[in-house]
Amino acid sequence: MLTISLNCIKRTLTNFLTFIIIFTKSLIFSDNSAAACVNFIKGEAIQGGLIFYDSSYATEINLDGEPIIVNKENGFVVGFHRDDLAMRTIEGLCKDGSPFSLKIQPSQRHYKIQKIDGLAPEMVTPPTHVLEQIANDFKMVKKARSIKGNSTDYFTNGFNWPVYGTITSIYGDQRILNGKPRQPHFGIDIAAPLGEPVAATASGHVVMAEKLYFTGWTVIISHGDYISSTYSHLNTISVKTGENIKRGEKIGTVGSTGRSTGPHLDWRINLLDRRLDPLILVKINNINKTY
């Protein structure tokens, strides 16, 4: 009897505490952007997520102390890296001159461990003669992703699937390759037949189209506001650096070049160095405000 009632009390207490935590969370994390003179449009405050704001009623906007340049749609985005835990702060002035401040807390995700075996040993621990090439590849990719771009198609119309197929690896997984711990997976892998066309997720311009050591034939497109998309392991590419590209246009074909065990597209989206989750972004135009 006593055990039962004790358990019952424990359960009630746990439920009550859970309620308090959820309630407190919703208070702390609430987005009162309307009162802040920037208006929430769409998106999610979650690790790997992206939030879209309208800033028609604000000026002199800062994000974490850095000035924000609003785009030609009078908006801006705030993105969250895989491991971002810190509260982000948007500050500025309303059009009437009064200051505002808005805090955004990303919710935390839990990632799985993914083991991949059967990779060529030189793709897990590269031989010394390719280290210089790998270092150059990294530099080239970093430079391509640091281009701001001036398109706003992504801002208005979101992101399309570049190819349809089976998702074989999701964003964020911690990776163990041939038994060796490596970087988390920052993209999603879509398995599709060799030679299947790959399309641009949104309009923009090609900022890199090269064959790299790890990712094989790789295309990076700049979409504006420092948002870029990366398409790796392509079999062929059909675009050149500097070319303008429209949403849905073919950029190449599905392949297995670089560090890959079969035909698939590794698709990534960045906000400068912050890695975003493409799976969250393709759904973004359908999400309602949830926080």
Angle at 278 between CA 197 and CA 291, to 5 degrees: 150
> In the complex, which residue's CB is closest to Zn ion?
266
If the CB atoms of residues 160 and 261 are measured against Zn ion, the closer one turns out to be 261
Task: Report if residue 277 touches Zn ion, rule: CB under 5 A.
Answer: no
* In the complex, least distance from residue 189 CB atom to Zn ion, rounded to whole angstroms: 4
Longest dimension (CA), the chain: 76
* In the complex, least distance from residue 169 CB atom to Zn ion, rounded to whole angstroms: 5
User: Given the rule CB under 5 A, which of 4-12, 23-31, 40-48, 258-266 is the region that contacts Zn ion?
Assistant: 258-266
If the CB atoms of residues 47 and 232 are measured against Zn ion, the closer one turns out to be 232
* In the complex, least distance from residue 212 CB atom to Zn ion, rounded to whole angstroms: 13
Task: Report if residue 137 touches Zn ion, rule: CB under 5 A.
Answer: no
Size of the site for Zn ion (CB under 5 A): 3
* In the complex, least distance from residue 254 CB atom to Zn ion, rounded to whole angstroms: 13
User: Given the rule CB under 5 A, which of 19-27, 46-54, 142-150, 262-270 is the region that contacts Zn ion?
Assistant: 262-270
The type of residue at 47 is Q
Closest CA to 113 of 47, 48, 189, 180: 180
Q: In the numeric block, which tokens belong to residue 191?
A: 């398995």
By CB under 5 A, name the one of 44, 225, 266, 277 that touches Zn ion.
266
Closest CA to 29 of 204, 291, 237: 291
Contact mark string toward Zn ion, 149..188, x via CB under 5 A: --------------------------------------x-
If the CB atoms of residues 42 and 175 are measured against Zn ion, the closer one turns out to be 175
* In the complex, least distance from residue 268 CB atom to Zn ion, rounded to whole angstroms: 8
Task: Report if residue 189 touches Zn ion, rule: CB under 5 A.
Answer: yes
Instruction: Please say whether the beta carbons of 176 and 203 come within 8 A.
Output: no
In sequence order, what are the residues at sequence separation of 6 or more whose Cβ sits closer than 8 angstroms to the Cβ of residue 98? none
If the CB atoms of residues 105 and 270 are measured against Zn ion, the closer one turns out to be 270
Write out the residues near Zn ion by the rule CB under 5 A.
187, 189, 266
